[in-house]
Amino acid sequence: MLPDSYRVGPHTFTASEIQFIIIKGYFKPCVGLQLFNKKKTPLYMRVKFQDQKQEDMMMKEIKAMAEKHQIPVKRGYGVVQL
């Protein structure tokens, strides 16, 4: 993989391809990555976590990625800060 590239399942993408990150749900959130060339978040770019430990670890990584690349994060329909 290239530097600053990420993988969701078999799909690889770079940070410059991400328009925003959307988080839906509270107790078991679903995280989606909205790409610039798509009108809706594709199903293959959505992630749901198996357990609380995995969720905590991944949310920290997503927060770090968003801050590093200045990608907006939306919760539901409004932009929020993680």
Residue ranges of the chain whose pLDDT lies below 70: 1-2, 77-82
pLDDT digits (tens, 9 = 90+) for 8-30: 888 888 889 889 998 888 777 88
Please write down the HEC assignment for all residues of 18-45: EEEEEEECCCCCEEEEEECCCCCCCHHH
Distance CA 55, CA 38 (A): 26
- pLDDT score, position 77: 54
Residue 46 backbone dihedrals phi, psi, to 5 degrees: -115, 140
